[in-house]
């Protein structure tokens, strides 16, 4: 809890920027007992909106890569990897798009850091744990819904814009 209460949203920036590195290895599931304990003791989960920001960041970066793809066949194939991210599952976007391309994964982490910092500064908390992105909206009904949507948009747009501006698709001769 102390880590997430660091000033200026620093805990959210660090967690939001780095959690996808754990997701690559599957180790992000080690956070589940922490969030369950948090909800049991306090009635809320402050990690959920930060993790959601990290997911939105990867979604934004992958979306930018898809839109930059000139090959229609590749673009159509890639879209199927982006859609699950909007339901809280980043692995298809990470493993099929962002990680193989390199910098989009890092730009997704930047989006997660920015959104995670914003979530921390706003003191955003979920009424439960487990669901993120669109299904996660249900955890914020009545309190914090608009702020949750704002965090998603900020993280997604940050990653999207960084990727759009700095990522250049390598041209292949095949």
pLDDT tens figures, 133-158: 999 999 998 889 999 999 999 999 99
> What CA–CA distance (Å, rounded) separates 132 from 108?
16
Instruction: Tell whether the model's pLDDT for residue 172 goes beyond 70.
Output: no
> What is the average per-residue pLDDT within 37-55?
93
Instruction: Tell whether the model's pLDDT for residue 174 goes beyond 60.
Output: no
CA angle 135, 46, 51 (to 5 degrees): 55
> What CA–CA distance (Å, rounded) separates 153 from 85?
13
Let me know if residue 174 belongs to a domain: no
Let me know if residue 92 belongs to a domain: yes
Confidence of residue 169 (pLDDT cuts 50, 70, 90): confident
Let me know if residue 153 belongs to a domain: yes
Determine the pLDDT at residue 3: 83
Let me know if residue 111 belongs to a domain: yes
Instruction: Tell whether the model's pLDDT for residue 89 goes beyond 70.
Output: yes
* Highest mean pLDDT of the ranges 2-6, 33-37, 83-87: 83-87
Confidence of residue 171 (pLDDT cuts 50, 70, 90): low
CA angle 133, 88, 73 (to 5 degrees): 110
Determine the pLDDT at residue 8: 92
Let me know if residue 104 belongs to a domain: yes
Q: What is the extent of the structural domain holding 96?
A: 9-164
Mean of pLDDT over the chain: 92
Let me know if residue 22 belongs to a domain: yes
Nearest to 38 by CA among 126, 138, 167, 145: 126
**Six token digits for residue 25:** 């290895």
Let me know if residue 3 belongs to a domain: no
In this prediction the pTM is 0.92
- Domain tally, the chain: 1
**Six token digits for residue 108:** 């997704």
Say whether 45 sits in a helix, a strand or coil: strand
Let me know if residue 110 belongs to a domain: yes
């Amino acid at each position: 809890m102390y880590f997430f209460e660091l000033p200026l949203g620093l805990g959210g920036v660090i967690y939001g920027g780095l959690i996808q590195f754990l997701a690559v290895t599957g180790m992000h599931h080690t956070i589940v007992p922490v969030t369950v304990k948090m909800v049991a003791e306090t009635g809320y989960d402050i990690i959920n909106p930060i993790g959601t920001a990290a997911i939105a960041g990867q979604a934004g970066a992958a979306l930018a890569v898809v839109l930059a793809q000139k090959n229609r066949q590749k673009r159509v194939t890639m879209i199927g990897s982006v859609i699950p991210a909007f339901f809280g599952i980043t692995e298809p976007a990470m493993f099929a798009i962002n990680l193989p391309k390199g910098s989009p994964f890092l730009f997704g982490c930047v989006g997660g850091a920015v959104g995670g910092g914003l979530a921390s500064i706003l003191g955003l908390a979920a009424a439960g744990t487990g669901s993120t992105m669109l299904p996660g909206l249900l955890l914020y009904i009545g309190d914090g819904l608009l702020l949750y949507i704002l965090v998603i948009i900020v993280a997604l747009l940050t990653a999207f814009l960084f990727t759009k501006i700095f990522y250049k698709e390598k041209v292949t001769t095949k």
